[in-house]
Amino acid sequence: MKKLYLALGLSLFLFLMRTGYVSAQEPQPTPSDDQVNAIAKQLYCPVCENTPLDVCPTTACAQWRDLIRQELAAGKTEQEIKDLFVRQYGARVLGTPPPKGFNLLVYAIPVLAVGVGVYILYRVYRSWKQPLATTKSTPSNTGATSGPDPTQDEYIHRLEEEVRKG
């Protein structure tokens, strides 16, 4: 008799655990159009050239948006959905290329261009400041001109000699 009560109690316990687990699951809410379009905006249509999936008017794109909706309803994350599309259609469906391999140039070139631009601006700024510094630091022998002494420049000296001869 004791074994019968134990078996009934264990059966009741397992039945309640099973029904409690099933009843605890609530139906997943249907994802909104905004949630679907937030992911579709980051993907490009595999059929059309350079058309984001969220604005593509083809039937295929409508089906792919429905697929995104189903995957969201199944509890998949944004990255999992993107990975699904990349597995099926390749990395060309991504709005931004993954930062690996040849695609690293997409991320590196703008940084290098900004660095080179800053360096060029720095050099130009220094070259603009350089003549001002040398002009003020040279003493003026006559006091009338603030420029460098024309007798010290060999080219000017030779030019003056040619003018005197000619």
Q: State whether 88 and 58 are in the same domain.
A: yes
pTM: 0.49
Q: State whether 53 and 106 are in the same domain.
A: no
- Which pLDDT tens digit goes with each residue over 97-122? 777 777 788 888 999 999 999 999 99
Residues near 78 by Cβ (< 8 Å), separated by ≥ 6? 38, 39
The Cβ of residue 39 has, within 10 Å, a number of other Cβ atoms equal to 23
Inter-residue contact 61 to 103 (CB < 8 Å): no
Domain count for the chain: 2
Classify residue 110: in a domain, yes or no. Answer: yes
Classify residue 56: in a domain, yes or no. Answer: yes
Classify residue 144: in a domain, yes or no. Answer: no
Q: Name the least confident of 4-13, 46-55, 118-127.
A: 4-13
Classify residue 122: in a domain, yes or no. Answer: yes
CATH code, domain carrying 59: 1.10.8.640
pLDDT band at 26 (very low <50, low <70, confident <90, very high): low
- Which pLDDT tens digit goes with each residue over 122-149? 999 888 877 554 555 555 455 455 556 6
Q: State whether 32 and 78 are in the same domain.
A: yes
Which domain range does residue 59 map to? 28-96
